[in-house]
Amino acid sequence: MKNILLAFLVLFGVSNLWAHTIKMTTGKLELNTQNKTCKLTLNFFIDDFESELIKMYPQPPFDYKVPNTQMQETIESYVLNNVSIELNQVLVNLSITSIYKTEDNVCQVIFNGQLNEHQEYDIVTVKNTLLFSSFDKQSNILHVYVDGEKKQIFRFFAGVPVRTERF
Partners of 162 in beta bridges: 127
DSSP H helical ranges for 19-87: 46-56, 69-82
Q: Strand, coil or helix: what is 43?
A: strand
- The mean pLDDT of 120-135, rounded to a whole number, is 92
Task: Please choose, from the candidates 143, 87, 147, the residue with its C-alpha nearest in 3D space to the C-alpha of residue 117.
Answer: 87
- Across all residues in the chain, what is the average pLDDT? 88
- The mean pLDDT of 125-129, rounded to a whole number, is 98
DSSP H helical ranges for 62-162: 69-82
Q: Is the pLDDT of residue 20 over 70?
A: no
pLDDT tens, 61-93?
Answer: 999 999 999 999 999 999 999 999 999 999 999
Strands 90-91 and 83-87: antiparallel
Task: Please choose, from the candidates 161, 107, 106, the residue with its C-alpha nearest in 3D space to the C-alpha of residue 131.
Answer: 161
79 alpha-carbon distance from chain centroid:
7
